[in-house]
Chains A and B, each alone.
Chain A
Amino acid sequence: MLRASSVVRRFGAVTALRGVDVALQAGRVHALVGANGAGKSTLARILAGVDKADEGVLTLEGEPYAPRNPAQARAVGVAMIHQELSIAPHLSVAANIVLGSETRRFGVLQQARDHARARTALQRLGRSDLPLQQLAGELPTALQQVVELARALASDVRVLLLDEPTSSLEHHDKQSLLNLVDALRAQDLALVWIGHHLDEVLRVADDLTVLRDGAVVARHVRGVSADQLVHDMSGRTLQGVFEARSSSTSKELLVLRDFRPRHFRQPVNLTVHQGEIVGLAGLVGSGRSRLLRAIVGALPHDQGSAVLNGQVVARDPHHSAHHGLGLVAEDRKRDGLCLTIPIIDEVTLSRPEQEAVAGVLRSGPRQQAVRTYSAMVGAKLASLHAGAQTLSGGNQQKLALARLLHMQAKLWLLDDPTRGIDVAAKSDIYQAVRSKAAQGYGVLVASSDTNELLQWCDRIAVLSRGSIVDIRPTHEWDADSILACAAGARGMREEPWSSYEQ
Chain B
Amino acid sequence: MSNSPTRSIWRQSSPVLAPLLGLLLVITAAVVWGWVHKPDASFASTARLALVLKQTAIVATGALGMTLVIAAGGIDLAVGSLLALCSVVMAKSLSVGHSPVAALLLTVGVGLCAGALHGVLVTWGRLVPFIATLGTMLAWRGAAEAVSEQKKISAEAPDWLSTLLDTPSADARFPVASGVLWVLALAILLAGVLRYTIFGRRIYAIGSNEAAASLCGVPITSTKIAVYALMGLFAALAGVLEFNNLSAQGNPSSAVGYELDVIAAVVLGGGSLSGGRGSIAGSLLGALLMTSLRSACVYAEVADPLQKVLVGAIILIAVALDRWRDQAR
Contact = CB atoms under 8 A, between A and B. Distances in A.
Overall SS of chain A's interface: mixed
Given A335-B209, A338-B205, A351 B217 contact: yes
Interface stretch (B85-93, B149-157, B191-199, B253-261): B191-199
A53 B4 CA distance: 11
Contacts of A361: 196-198, 201
A349 B196 contact: no
Contact of A345 (B205, B214, B217): B205
Interface string B201-220: 11011001101111111110
A52 B211 CA distance: 32
Number of contact residues on A: which range applies? 35 or more
A335 B212 contact: yes
Contacts of B276: 338, 340-341
Contacts, number: 94
A322 B201 contact: no
B1 interface: yes
A359 B226 CA distance: 14
B199 A359 contact: yes
A350 B197 contact: no
A88 interface: no
A174 B219 CA distance: 38
A42 B107 CA distance: 56
Contact of A340 (B4, B208, B214, B216): B208
Contact of B329 (A340, A349, A351, A356): A340
B204 A349 contact: no
Given A337-B209, A341-B276, A403 B198 contact: no
Interface string A345-364: 11011111100100111010
Nearest to A407: B217
A350 B204 contact: no
Interface stretch (A217-225, A249-257, A313-321): A313-321
A334 interface: yes
Contact of B217 (A321, A337, A338, A341): A321
Overall SS of chain B's interface: helix
Given A329-B212, A338-B205, A338-B212, A356 B217 contact: no
A346 B209 CA distance: 11
Contacts of B197: 356, 359-361
Interface string B161-195: 00000000000000000000000000000000000
Interface in A25-73: 52-54
Interface string A373-412: 0000000000000000100000000000001000100000
A139 interface: no
Contacts of B213: 338, 349
B54 interface: no
A468 B218 CA distance: 30
B215 A298 contact: yes
B201 A52 contact: no
Contacts of A457: none
A142 interface: no
Contacts of B294: none
B277 interface: yes
B10 to A, nearest CB: 14
B277 A296 contact: no
A338 B198 contact: no
Contacts of A349: 201-202, 205, 213, 216-218
Q: Report, nearest first, the 10 A-B pairs whose CB atoms are least far apart.
A: A321-B217, A335-B211, A338-B208, A338-B209, A350-B217, A340-B208, A318-B219, A352-B198, A335-B212, A340-B276
5 contacts: A293-B215, A334-B211, A339-B209, A340-B204, A356-B197
Interface of B: 1, 4, 8, 196-199, 201-202, 204-205, 208-209, 211-219, 276-277, 329
Interface of A: 12, 52-54, 293, 296, 298, 317-318, 320-322, 327, 329, 334-341, 345-346, 348-353, 356, 359-361, 363, 389, 403, 407
